[in-house]
Amino acid sequence: MANLSLQNLQKSYGSAHVIKGVDIEIADGEFTVFVGPSGCGKSTLLRMIAGLEDISGGDLYIGDRQVNEVQPKERGIAMVFQSYAIFPHMTVRENIGFGLTIEGVKKDEWNERVNEAARILQMEHLLDRRPSQLSGGQRQRVAIGRAIVRKPAVFLFDEPLSNLDAALRMDMRMEIGKLHKQLDATMIYVTHDQVEAMTLADKIVVLKDGKVMQIGAPMELYHKPANLFVARFIGSPAMNLLDVTVAESTATGHIVQNGSLDPVEIATDTQAKPGDKLILGIRPQYLDPSHDPSAGKLHGTVSITERLGTETILDLTLTDGSKLVAALPEDAIFKPEETVSLTFDPARAHLFQPEDA
């Protein structure tokens, strides 16, 4: 069993608190992604799980065992680093078999397992090369090979793809996803790329400043962001956030409005009273612009149309001067400076408290 349990995990460097009490449950075989902006403590958290950083407070369980003080190799984990960390003087074969060499595995089994790992990663033809003769993607594959050869219960990835170019990143992303299905192992994956997080994860943990902002399945975070931070972080293009005022509170939510938004009722459990300022969030994908200036509740003019082929991005300026982005599924013709209105399903909109600074 390789479920993980992080209980009020904390880390400080001297007086700097970097991880401020993190609780996460990770089930056996689950693909969990830690996302968050740079410096939020993703790597630190992962390295605490790996045993490369001491744990300053709280408990870490792998399986049923509390492993706070356990050496990395005893934790049954393998780690893939952003900078590959493959040994430059060893061949690919020796690199992949490194863990087995350390363990003292016999020659026959050693060969068998290295070949098996190479087969899974489709790199049998590279086995006798040296790292200097490999491309970035191939190097990262060697690092993954070194991780899978020991058949660990938990895989830890720290931004494994961020040194690769965009196309390769997509390929490798899919391969890692495939690998997860094939090996059926618990994987924890750190990235600051929310697309990677959305596509790979069974469960996403959004971190900010060493605290968990939300934990959930990718679509859960997408459709029900718990706070402004998650709302901003997940989804591309980013969610539109409009300052609105509560006109009236109803049993299920609030009626809100502003200079460019006609009053609309949004169902929410966010607490507010009439006159309060709230923030209305609508994903660009759920906005439906119309040439008819009075068809929708939001009013503005088109600034730029970006046609990406798969979708069209409209940059709009609302009548109160704020900016809005709408993403349309197909090619749509809106001329710059054209006055438009936008409709949206109030059920797809969210209300958030304005963040206190």
Partner 1 sequence: MASKLTQSNSAGWAFALPGFGLIALFIVVPFFFAFGLSLTNQRLVSPNPTEFVGLANYKNLLGVGMITLEPERNDAGEILRGQDGEIQYPRVRNYTRKNPDYPHLDGMREWFRWSSGDNAKVVLAKDVVFVKALKNTLTFVVIVAPLQASLALLLALLINQKLRGINVFRTIYFMPVVISIVVVSLLWRFIYSGDNGLLNNILGALTFGLFEPVDWLGQPSTALGAIIAMSIWQAVGFHMVIWLSGLQTISPVLYEAARIEGSSAWQTFKYVTWPGLRNTAVLILIVITMQAFAIFAQIDVMTSGGPLDSTQTLVFQAVERGYGKQDISGGSVISVILFLIVLSISLIQRWLTREKN
Chain residues binding partner 1 by CB under 8 A are 50-52, 71-74, 77-79, 81, 83, 85-90, 98-99, 101-103, 146, 150
Which one-letter amino acid corresponds to residue 161?
A: L
Where are the alpha helices (H) located in 24-155, listed in sequence order? 42-50, 92-96, 98-103, 107-120, 136-148
Specify the residue for token string 């995990």: 9
Find the distance separating the first CA and the last CA of the chain, reported in whole Å.
43
- Residue selected from 1, 8, 23, 39 as contacting ligand ATP according to rule CB under 6 A: 39
> According to the binding rule CB under 6 A, does residue 194 interact with ligand ATP?
no
Cβ closer to ligand ATP: 20 or 223?
A: 20
Residue 79 touches which member of ligand ATP, partner 1, Mg ion, none, C-beta under 5-8 Å by kind: partner 1
The binding site for Mg ion (CB under 5 A) comprises 43
Where on the phi/psi map is residue 78: left (φ > 0), alpha (ψ -120 to 50), or beta?
A: beta
> According to the binding rule CB under 6 A, does residue 54 interact with ligand ATP?
no
User: Among 13-21, 127-135, 180-188, 305-313, which window interacts with ligand ATP (CB under 6 A)?
Assistant: 13-21
> According to the binding rule CB under 6 A, does residue 38 interact with ligand ATP?
yes
Cβ closer to ligand ATP: 39 or 263?
A: 39
Cβ closer to Mg ion: 82 or 227?
A: 82
User: CB neighbours of 163 closer than 8 A, spacing ≥ 6?
Assistant: 82, 83, 84, 136, 140
φ/ψ (deg, to 5) at 127: -60, -30
Angle at 54 between CA 50 and CA 55, to 5 degrees: 95
Residue 16 touches which member of partner 1, ligand ATP, Mg ion, none, C-beta under 5-8 Å by kind: ligand ATP
Question: Distance between CA 53 and CA 72 in Å, rounded?
Answer: 10
Residue 39 touches which member of ligand ATP, partner 1, Mg ion, none, C-beta under 5-8 Å by kind: ligand ATP
Compute the least distance from the CB of residue 36 to Mg ion, in Å. 9
Residue 18 touches which member of Mg ion, partner 1, ligand ATP, none, C-beta under 5-8 Å by kind: ligand ATP
Question: Distance between CA 29 and CA 297 in Å, rounded?
Answer: 46
Question: Distance between CA 233 and CA 192 in Å, rounded?
Answer: 10
Cβ closer to partner 1: 100 or 279?
A: 100
- What the block records as the tokens of 185 is 């192992």
Compute the least distance from the CB of residue 72 to Mg ion, in Å. 18
Question: Distance between CA 341 and CA 277 in Å, rounded?
Answer: 23
> According to the binding rule CB under 6 A, does residue 208 interact with ligand ATP?
no
- Residue selected from 16, 166, 308, 357 as contacting ligand ATP according to rule CB under 6 A: 16
φ/ψ (deg, to 5) at 44: -60, -45
Contact of 255 with 248, CB cutoff 8 Å: yes
Q: Please state, as a whole number, how many other Cβ atoms lie within 10 Å of the Cβ of residue 29.
A: 17
Residue 41 touches which member of partner 1, Mg ion, ligand ATP, none, C-beta under 5-8 Å by kind: ligand ATP
> According to the binding rule CB under 6 A, does residue 41 interact with ligand ATP?
yes
Compute the least distance from the CB of residue 60 to Mg ion, in Å. 19
In the complex, which residues of this chain contact ligand ATP (CB under 6 A)? Answer: 13, 16, 18, 36, 38-44, 192
